Amino acid sequence: MGILQVKDVSLKLGDKKVLENLSIDFWEGHIHAVVGPNGAGKSSLAYAMMGLPEYRNHEGDIVIEGSSIKSLPVDERARLGMSLAWQEPARYEGLKVDTFLKAGSRGSSRTTDEALDMVGLEPEVYKYRAVDKTLSGGERKRIELASILMMQPRIFLMDEPDSGIDMSALQKIFEVISMLKKQNTTVILITHSLEVLRHAEHAFLMCHGKLIDKGTADKIIYYFENNCLPCDHQNQPLEEEIS
């Protein structure tokens, strides 16, 4: 049984079916990748798992260690050990990086200097800057990751960890992912990148809100090789979609 289970989840936002009968098991201490084209519903799945207000009104169930978390708001899910690094993280006027990082740390022994070092940002340069629009996109993403490292969740959802990240920083992020694996963190990477996918032990391919395929990263790599973008899976039977 997975530590985190998505059970037959369907979600409509406005008139749009964003997730359709989606079932996925995520295993404790394993690294997972969720891949799929733009608009497939990957971020929506992450938001539904995290419990964001508009995404809680879904059918089916989301379960952590056998207990439904469907009725729990974001902060209670976080206190159960789940967190999300956002695809495009929020900016905060006036809030210092140091304060932002400490906010979620709740008794963790890691210092803000250590967390910034781990994502390849010099603490002296970044600690007292604000988490505002003066940070570049890549810097902000790395600070988001550092904030998660401060929190040390058991289940970590990372929405597009590599978007806007340069090559050397990406290596740092892979180091962080390996370290999380050693610490038995359950990692869920949402990605478009073949390189990120290669770091996963299990992969799930989504399209139009549905799960199209799952298996090892190697198995799902065909999605990239066949340049499955954009796709028109929606009205076709599953078997045809994969062939």
Partner 1 sequence: MSTNNFLQEIIESLPASHRNVMDKDTAHLVIHHNEVLGAHLVPGLDVQAEPIEDGVNIKIRVDKGTVIEKPVHMCFGMVPEEGLQKIIINAVIEEDAAIEVLAHCTFPNAIDITHLMDATIHLERNARYSYFERHIHGMKGGVKVVPKAKVYVDEYARFKTEFELIKGLVGDIDIFYEGFVKREGVMDMMARIYGRENDRIKINETCHLEGESSRGVLTSHIACRDRTNASVYNTLTATAPFARGHVDCKEIVQENARAKAVPIVEVAHPQAHVTHEAALGSVDSKQLQTLMSRGLTEDEATELIIQGLLN
Residue-wise DSSP of the chain:
--SEEEEEEEEEETTEEEEEEEEEEE-TT-EEEEE--TTSSHHHHHHHHHT-GGGS--EEEEEETTEE-TT--HHHHHHTTEEEE-SS----TT-BHHHHHHHTTTT-S--HHHHHHHTT--HHHHTTSBSSTTS-HHHHHHHHHHHHHHH--SEEEEESTTTT--HHHHHHHHHHHHHHHHTT-EEEEEES-HHHHHT-SEEEEEETTEEEEEE-HHHHTHHHHTT--S--GGGS-HHHHH-
Output 12 or 181, the one with its CB closest to ligand ATP: 12
73 binds, among partner 1, ligand ATP, Mg ion, none (CB under 5 to 8 A by kind): partner 1
List the one residue from 89, 120, 123, 209 that touches partner 1 (CB under 8 A). 89
Q: Are 213 and 179 in contact (CB under 8 A)?
A: no
Rule CB under 8 A: is residue 179 a binding residue for partner 1?
no
Output 46 or 207, the one with its CB closest to partner 1: 46
Output 128 or 222, the one with its CB closest to partner 1: 128
Give the whole-angstrom CA distance, residue 39 versus residue 84: 19
**Minimum Å distance from CB 160 to ligand ATP?**
7
Q: Which residues pair with 6 in a beta bridge?
A: 24, 62
Rule CB under 8 A: is residue 30 a binding residue for partner 1?
no
**Minimum Å distance from CB 223 to partner 1?**
28
Using CB under 8 A as the binding rule, the residues of this chain from 63 to 82 that contact partner 1 are 73-75, 77-79
Taking alpha carbons only, the member of 60, 183, 199 closest to residue 68 is 60
Number of residues that bind partner 1 (CB under 8 A): 28
161 binds, among Mg ion, ligand ATP, partner 1, none (CB under 5 to 8 A by kind): none
**Of 3-11, 18-26, 89-97, 217-225, which part binds partner 1 (CB under 8 A)?**
89-97
Output 48 or 150, the one with its CB closest to ligand ATP: 48
- Would you tell me which residues interact with ligand ATP (CB under 6 A)? 13-14, 16, 18, 36, 38-44, 87
Rule CB under 8 A: is residue 161 a binding residue for partner 1?
no
- Would you tell me which residues interact with Mg ion (CB under 5 A)? 43, 87
Positions in the binding site for partner 1 (CB under 8 A): 50, 52-53, 73-75, 77-79, 83-84, 86, 89-96, 99, 103-104, 106, 130, 147-148, 151
